[in-house]
Amino acid sequence: MTAWSYSSLKTFEQCPKKYYHLKVLKDVKDKRGTASIYGEKVHTAAEEFIRDNTPLAPEFRFLTSILDVIAAIPGEKLCEVKLGIAKDDGGLKPTDFYAEDVWWRGIADLVILQGDTALSIDYKTGKNTRYADTKQLDAVAAALFTHYPKLTKIKSALAFVVSKDFIHKEHTADMRDSYFASFQPQLDSLADAEQSGVWNPKSGPLCAYCPVTDCEHNRA
* Structural domain contains residue 32: no
* Structural domain contains residue 176: yes
Number of domains comprising the chain? 1
Separation between Cα atoms, residue 96 and residue 94, nearest integer Å: 7
Separation between Cα atoms, residue 152 and residue 167, nearest integer Å: 21
Q: For 3-54, what is each residue's pLDDT tens digit?
A: 999 999 999 999 999 999 999 999 999 877 788 889 999 999 999 999 999 9
* Structural domain contains residue 49: no
* Structural domain contains residue 6: no
Q: For 158-211, what is each residue's pLDDT tens digit?
A: 999 888 889 999 999 999 999 999 999 999 999 999 999 999 999 988 888 899
pTM of the predicted protein model: 0.92
Residues 155 and 140: beta-carbon distance below 8 Å: no
Separation between Cα atoms, residue 189 and residue 15, nearest integer Å: 12
* Structural domain contains residue 114: yes
* Structural domain contains residue 131: yes
Residues 202 and 14: beta-carbon distance below 8 Å: yes
For residue 164, what are the domain limits? 75-182
pLDDT for position 189:
96
Q: Return all residues near 107 (Cβ < 8 A) that are at least 6 apart.
A: 80, 81, 82, 83
Q: DSSP 3-state assignment of 134?
A: coil
Separation between Cα atoms, residue 42 and residue 1, nearest integer Å: 33
pLDDT for position 219:
65
Residues 211 and 21: beta-carbon distance below 8 Å: yes
* Structural domain contains residue 27: no
Return the bridge partners of 156, or none: 120, 169
Q: What is the CATH number of the domain that holds 144?
A: 3.90.320.10
* Structural domain contains residue 172: yes
**pLDDT at 220 exceeding the cut of 60:** no
Nearest to 151 by CA among 141, 164, 160: 141
